[in-house]
Structure 1
Amino acid sequence: MIRFNCDYSEGAHPKVLEKLLQTNMEQTAGYGMDPYCNKAAGMIKDKCLRQDMEVHFLVGGTQTNLTVISAALRPHQGAIAANTGHICTHETGAIEATGHKVIELSSRDGKLTAEQVAETVKSHYSDESREHTVQPKMVYISNPTEIGTIYSKKELFELSRICRENSLFLYMDGARLGYGLCAEDNDLDLPTIAQLCDAFYIGGTKIGALFGEALVVCNEELKKDLRYIIKQKGGMLAKGRLLGLQFISLMENDLYFEIATHANKMALLIKEALLKKGYSFLISSTTNQQFPILPNDILVRLKSKFEYSFWQEIDENTSAVRFCTSWATSPEDVRKLVEEIENG
């Protein structure tokens, strides 16, 4: 069985494992206070062209999201998110469990617009009984989104402007950030994201690491007591150096971007084969996630050899599914899938 159902089926890139093995018997301080975490943080600051940021290494994406949102919001405040956003759909109510409402806005392409945010804020503050409702204080976005779309520099600039005009925090979930930054139509980069967002994270779990995310905090207000909150929310790893070492490996010689580019190329080969067969897509994506709409009988046949993710029913005869490539997807596995598509 060849898996195209997610981008974290494999372990870690060999260079990550080499670094962990080389340092395995060293003794260091714990909880991210070691030289390796310090070095990795410095490398990320250099790539973002900002030395005034804080970089923290957390064990996973859900812990990172609930930590940042908990740090940013007071008890009566909530986070605005697209209704397809990860915190709305795949975190088991983690944000609500910390006492904060997720204010969901409808989105077909997984993205929020500046106009939507502005209207949401205006609607809240024009309500005479607004103190009876949750106050919007943060905008949560992910790049790429849950359905593989990416924000343009213009879109992110407009969102950032609206957030700053209305005293909202702008936070970017970067679980798949590398795949977004390496997409063929992308015009964002790390320095721009660091300039426009109050906080974001560089995902490792889904891009070459065994586990772990690098949280980048740009806003001074969010830095206060953050390590207390990371610990309380379960994001602080005792053997913190394991996270720093992995991000050193990923940042060295831009390995992170090299392997993300590979995953995107593999996904676009699958997309090309599907387009040649005349299949349509739920949404257009240039990242490692593709969402074709396929006849159910074809999906049954593919299921005997390949794992994919069911996404949604389109009608009684067709369904949208997700094919997801990773940093480790081999051209040979893609070729096998393409052949099955061509023969369908």
Structure 2
Amino acid sequence: MLYFMNDYSEGAHPDVLEALIKTNEEKLPGYGTDYYSEEAKKKICKWINRDADIFFISGGTQTNKIVIDALLSSYEGVIAVDTGHVSCHEAGAIENTGHKVMTLQNEEGKLSANDVEEYVRCFYEDENHEHMVFPGMVYISYPTEFGTLYSKKELTELYDVCKHYRLPLYIDGARLGYGLCTGDLSIEELASLCDVFYIGGTKVGALCGEAIVFKEKAPKHFVTFIKQHGALLAKGRLLGVQFDALFTDQLYMRISKHAIDMAMIMKEELKKRDYRFAIDSPTNQQFIIVENDKLEDIKKHVMYSFWQRYDETHTIIRLATSWATTKEDVEKLFQYL
């Protein structure tokens, strides 16, 4: 069976696993105060070329829930596109904190600066807005759930709107490395065009873990807030060691580039075979339109992700690559497509 279902089907990249094994018997303090967590933070600050407050969390939904809840007042909600991860794939985790997710129509998975400006302006023009949920921040993903990317121009325009209305801009970077490999934004530029983002590890070579990066000071007592959400690991070393490894010798970006390289080989072959793409993704996620009858044969040999129905006879599926995808895997894939 070939696995193209997602980019987290395997455990950790061998270099990350080796670091965990190598440090396994070291005696270290808990709750992320260990040497490796501090070293990882220093390396991330060097990578983004600025000082920052950094915190490690075990998973993406936890990360989104904690950041959004920490930044919002009780009467505020978060603006996101209708296809955003917090909007439809987190089981109401944000709403469970008492905050509404205020969805706007996506444009190829992206949030338009004009749409945000219009939404917030109309909110404050409404004479009844004191009786409504206030827009308190903006959430986007880079890459988006469709594998698309914000250009530097698009992100700049969006951040300008956010700053004008004093709305923190938060970037979900679950697959950040893949976006940085193919987009026109450097990590320094991305870090300067938002208020907080996270560096995804789970989907980019780590066993688990994400790194929250506040470019200014984090909300006060943020560690206590993490603890209240049940997300402060006693063995914080588990995350620190992994991120220290990921940001040694550019491993994070090397992992990302490999997955992109494999995805582009796959994409070119799909084009040659006249497959239709649901969206033009430059990242490690490729979305193709397949006849339902053909899917019955494909699923006997290939694990893929169902995305959505295209019409009565076709389905959109996602094929994703990772650090573990080999060229041989891609070649074998086309025996069944």
**TM-score, normalisation: structure 1:** 0.96
Give the conservation status (yes or no) of the 8 Å contact 1:63–1:234.
no
CA distance in 1 between counterparts of 2:261 and 2:135 reads 39
Aligned to 1:124: 123
Secondary structure of the corresponding residue to residue 10 of structure 1: coil
Cα displacement (A) at 1:299: 1.5
Secondary structure of the corresponding residue to residue 253 of structure 1: coil
Give the conservation status (yes or no) of the 8 Å contact 1:54–1:223.
no
Matched, 1:5 2:5: yes
Secondary structure of the corresponding residue to residue 249 of structure 2: helix
Structure 2 counterparts to residues 217-256 of structure 1, below 5 A: 217-220=214-217, 222-256=218-252
Structure 2 counterparts to residues 73-112 of structure 1, below 5 A: 73-112=72-111
Aligned to 2:256: 260
Residue 190 of structure 1 aligns with an amino acid whose one-letter code is: I
Aligned to 1:308: 304
Residue 77 of structure 1 aligns with an amino acid whose one-letter code is: E
CA distance in 1 between counterparts of 2:306 and 2:21 reads 38
Secondary structure of the corresponding residue to residue 67 of structure 2: helix
Give the conservation status (yes or no) of the 8 Å contact 1:289–1:324.
yes
Gaps of 5+ in 2: none
Give the conservation status (yes or no) of the 8 Å contact 2:308–2:317.
yes
Cα displacement (A) at 1:219: 3.2
Aligned to 1:139: 138
CA distance in 2 between counterparts of 1:146 and 1:235 reads 24
Partner deviation per Cα, 1:266-285 (whole Å, 9 max, x = no partner)? 11222112211212111110
Aligned to 2:62: 63
Secondary structure of the corresponding residue to residue 200 of structure 1: strand
Cα displacement (A) at 1:140: 0.2
Secondary structure of the corresponding residue to residue 161 of structure 1: helix
Residue 245 of structure 2 aligns with an amino acid whose one-letter code is: S
Secondary structure of the corresponding residue to residue 320 of structure 1: strand
Aligned to 1:178: 177
Aligned length: 337
Give the conservation status (yes or no) of the 8 Å contact 2:32–2:235.
yes
Matched, 1:214 2:203: no
Matched, 1:42 2:42: yes
CA distance in 2 between counterparts of 1:5 and 1:21 reads 28
Give the conservation status (yes or no) of the 8 Å contact 2:106–2:112.
no
Give the conservation status (yes or no) of the 8 Å contact 2:177–2:253.
yes
Aligned to 1:188: 185
Structure 2 counterparts to residues 5-24 of structure 1, below 5 A: 5-24=5-24
CA distance in 2 between counterparts of 1:41 and 1:219 reads 14
Secondary structure of the corresponding residue to residue 141 of structure 1: strand
CA distance in 2 between counterparts of 1:278 and 1:15 reads 38
Aligned to 1:54: 53
Cα displacement (A) at 1:234: 2.2
The list of structure 1 runs, each at least 4 consecutive aligned residues, that deviate by more than 6 angstroms after superposition, is none
Secondary structure of the corresponding residue to residue 27 of structure 1: coil
**TM-score, normalisation: structure 2:** 0.98
CA distance in 2 between counterparts of 1:44 and 1:60 reads 18
User: Which stretch of the first structure deviates more once superposed, 291-300 or 88-97?
Assistant: 291-300
Secondary structure of the corresponding residue to residue 201 of structure 1: strand
Cα displacement (A) at 1:286: 0.8
CA distance in 2 between counterparts of 1:26 and 1:49 reads 30
Partner deviation per Cα, 1:137-164 (whole Å, 9 max, x = no partner)? 1100000111100111111111111100
Give the conservation status (yes or no) of the 8 Å contact 2:110–2:150.
yes
Across the aligned residues of Structure 1 and Structure 2, the Cα RMSD in angstroms comes to: 1.0
Residue 100 of structure 2 aligns with an amino acid whose one-letter code is: K
Aligned to 2:29: 29
Identity %: 53
User: Which stretch of the first structure deviates more once superposed, 296-305 or 94-103?
Assistant: 296-305
Cα displacement (A) at 1:15: 0.7
Aligned to 2:335: 339
CA distance in 2 between counterparts of 1:119 and 1:147 reads 24
